């Protein structure tokens, strides 16, 4: 299990609710990226934490990982970066993204924990 704590939520993050998209980034995110990202800090560095069939948990909301992009784990480990699309239908996944279901936009705030199970 991997745990990471939300330390900052960019001002533009709510605008992505319609797209059902959350962009996570570690504390090294540039000022330009911080506006659109949920900034988080790992308790422990993840290793291949993103896998099809795995779970991602925001508070008590649990989502299933349906697709994992080819660079998603490497980006997540190195930069804490991943784009999470919450969708009900299968789509082609971008290299640095995952698709999770069910569709929707999780509720979260600074101080919350995100868990990968």
- Condensed to tens digits (0 to 9), the pLDDT of residues 27-71 reads 999 999 999 999 999 998 889 999 999 999 998 999 999 999 999
What are the pLDDT digits (tens) for 93-116? 999 999 999 998 999 999 999 999
CB proximity list for 101: less than 8 A, separation 6 or greater: 63, 64, 66, 86, 87, 88
Alpha carbon distance 5, 69 (integer Å): 23
Indicate whether 91 pLDDT > 80: no
Residue 92: the pLDDT is: 83
Element (H, E) at 64: strand 61-68
Residue 64: the pLDDT is: 96
What are the pLDDT digits (tens) for 69-86? 999 999 999 999 999 999
Alpha carbon distance 105, 95 (integer Å): 21
Phi-psi region of 67 (alpha: psi -120 to 50; beta: other; left: phi over 0): beta
Domain limits, the chain: 2-116
Residue 88: the pLDDT is: 79
Residue 90 sits at the vertex; the CA angle it makes with 89 and 93, to the nearest 5 degrees, is: 130
- Domain 2-116 class, CATH top level: mainly beta
pTM of the model: 0.95
Place of tokens 């540039």: 30
């Amino acid at each position: 299990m991997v745990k990471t704590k939300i330390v900052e939520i960019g001002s533009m993050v709510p605008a992505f609710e319609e797209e059902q998209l959350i962009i996570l980034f570690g504390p090294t995110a540039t000022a330009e990226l911080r506006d659109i990202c949920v900034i988080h800090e790992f308790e422990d560095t993840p290793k291949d934490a993103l896998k099809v069939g795995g779970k991602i948990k925001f508070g008590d909301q649990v989502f299933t990982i349906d697709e994992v992009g080819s660079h998603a784990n490497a980006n997540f480990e190195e930069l804490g970066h991943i784009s999470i699309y919450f969708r009900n239908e299968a789509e082609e996944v971008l290299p640095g993204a995952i698709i999770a279901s069910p569709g929707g936009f999780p509720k979260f705030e600074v101080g919350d924990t995100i868990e990968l199970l």
